[in-house]
Chain A
Amino acid sequence: MDMLKIENLKKRFGDKEVLKELSLTVPEKSIFGFIGKNGAGKTTTMKTILGLMKPDEGEIFVNGEKVVFGQTSTNQYIGYLPDVPEYYSFMSPTEYLHFCGEITGLSKAERTKRADELLELVGLKGETHRIKGFSRGMKQRLGIAQALLNKPKLLICDEPTSALDPVGRKEILDILMAVKNETTVLFSTHILSDVEKICTDIAFLNEGTVAIQGKIGDIKSTYRTDEYIIETETEKELRVLTSAFTHLNQTGRTMLKFKENQHSLFEVMNFITDKKLPVLKIERVEPTLESMFMEVVKK
């Protein structure tokens, strides 16, 4: 079943059309990367899912139930980490998690257990200071803890890693990886390497619509070209190869590139074996998210 389904969502601010017929489907138990450049409408989409913003048109279903603007019952399935989370800063993290547990109806025993587990998971165990003095990274980690508290079916994180240093980013990604068996994760980002590391599914948001969406493997295979790279040990071998095969393109001092329709890969490999040429690597070129993203944005 689909955990989240967005159909033809439209939203404009004044004369600016931010979302134009945006449709999106997030399958259950996926880690879904929602990719788009600054101002693409990621936060707008997420707020609409939570009933915090009213769409001009379109419908959203969470766990099969329709989202309405304002007071919406669908929020009981969702754990949300906003781009800039704001807490009751006069509380300590433990107090805050207990407060969140109480308002969602967890029993005292459950609350204590979940709060301990989660503070351990996000590395805030034993932190007794009030939230007031927390750094951004600490706030972000507390944000994940509060979002996961009542074991939501859908975890929505708005750019959870953007404001963090590499260590902080890795910590957050590790946490998201760790919870993937318990919940569906939808997170927005413009850091493509983060997506590459943990996502199973992606959607590219561009100019208010979803340009590409699907399993990351499927998308890569449609964008995959039959291109190969050969890296030789020295320039000498490179020259031997280029004189034998006319269509090899030199792309670096010891780097060559060619397409399957120019020369057969096995033909080239046979030649290398016959001549016993030392090579460092022969590799099929994988499309990177970056190259795909650029292509989408350019179109």
Chain B
Amino acid sequence: MKSLLSFTKKEFMEHFRSAKIIILTGVFILFAIINPMIAKFTPVIIEMLSESMQGGMEITAGEVTAMDSWLQFIKNAPMALIVFMLLESSIFTKEYQKGTLVLTLTKGLKRHTVLISKTFVMLTLWTAEYFMCYGLTYLFNNILWDNTVAENLTFMALNWWILGVMAICLSVLFSVIAKNNILVLAGTGGVILGSYLIGSLPKIGDYMPTLLMNSNPVIYGLEEVSHYIPAIIIAVSISVISVIVSVPIFNKKHI
């Protein structure tokens, strides 16, 4: 337990000293600002364009509400997750490449401690950064408009968070198999892309974790929350299994 704590302390120290935390926080704040901004200015831009097209057709943009900003949130969430994965995908492989785990592990530190610690650090960062972004978007929307037009906002937010958790757990599995972070990204991305493609098929699509990417119907109140439960259960199962399977593989990995 104590060794888990000190290894985790080392991970956070590394994140702070390498400025990763600052970059992540900056990016997630930026997303929180961009969501309402795009919603607010899209009609203005459209109007300007239609005016410049002399004698052109009349485009009347509908009134902007918080709903537009939340749709942007759902649309931009993949970018946020991609940035997160790009920054964190080397959390294991950098240690393999540099050889820094050799001394740590030959000191008798249990390999599963390393694995649990790194998984925990990524999940913590994802949770903190993601909900900060959600919270800020919520705040800006409330200032500019009224959040009550959208339904099930917390549920929508949880959906995307769960998908992020699954991506992180998959990246752990690929990190104990692969030697470099390109393979980690390719593996994780591949599984999610696969799920997305299968998700476009009828029926089976409802069971794919990538269903969680599309929460638009929920916030319009057009879809029941229960519709997402199977996909959530599957995403959580994939996450748990990925981490559990990683332990024995990591125990026999060439470091």
B6's partner among A69, A87, A102 (CB-CB below 8 A) is A102
With A88-B14, A91-B13, A102-B6 in contact, is A80–B111 under 8 Å at CB? Answer: no
With A86-B98, A90-B17 in contact, is A104–B255 under 8 Å at CB? Answer: no
Interface string of A71-89 (1 = CB under 8 A from B): 1010110101010111110
Q: Do A90 and B13 touch across chains, with their CB atoms under 8 A apart?
A: yes
Interface string of B1-23 (1 = CB under 8 A from A): 01101110110011001100000
Count of residues in A whose CB is under 8 Å from the partner chain? 28
Q: Do A103 and B107 touch across chains, with their CB atoms under 8 A apart?
A: yes
What is the CA–CA distance of A90 and B21 in the complex, to the nearest angstrom? 15
With A99-B10, A100-B107 in contact, is A69–B252 under 8 Å at CB? Answer: yes
The residues of A that contact B105 with a CB separation of less than 8 Å are 75
**B53 interfacial by beta-carbon distance below 8 Å:** no
The residues of A that contact B251 with a CB separation of less than 8 Å are 70-71
The residues of B that contact A69 with a CB separation of less than 8 Å are 252
Q: Do A105 and B3 touch across chains, with their CB atoms under 8 A apart?
A: yes
The residues of B that contact A75 with a CB separation of less than 8 Å are 105-108
What is the CA–CA distance of A69 and B248 in the complex, to the nearest angstrom? 12
In B82-104, which residues have CB < 8 Å from any A CB? 98-100, 102-104
**A272 interfacial by beta-carbon distance below 8 Å:** no
Interface string of A36-53 (1 = CB under 8 A from B): 000000000000001011
Q: Do B107 and A104 touch across chains, with their CB atoms under 8 A apart?
A: yes
Residue of A nearest to B105 (CB): A75
**B254 interfacial by beta-carbon distance below 8 Å:** yes
**A146 interfacial by beta-carbon distance below 8 Å:** yes
CB distance from A193 to the nearest CB of B (A): 28
CB distance from B122 to the nearest CB of A (A): 18
What is the CA–CA distance of A73 and B99 in the complex, to the nearest angstrom? 20
B102's partner among A86, A99, A103 (CB-CB below 8 A) is A86
The residues of A that contact B103 with a CB separation of less than 8 Å are 80, 82, 85-87, 100, 146
Interface string of A88-100 (1 = CB under 8 A from B): 1011000000011
Since A71-B111, A105-B2 are in contact, a sample of 13 more A-B pairs with Cβ atoms closer than 8 Å, ordered by chain A residue number, is A52-B102, A54-B254, A70-B251, A70-B253, A75-B108, A82-B99, A88-B14, A90-B14, A91-B13, A99-B6, A100-B107, A102-B2, A102-B3
User: Which 3 A-B pairs have CB atoms at the shortest separation, nearest pair first?
Assistant: A102-B6, A76-B108, A86-B99
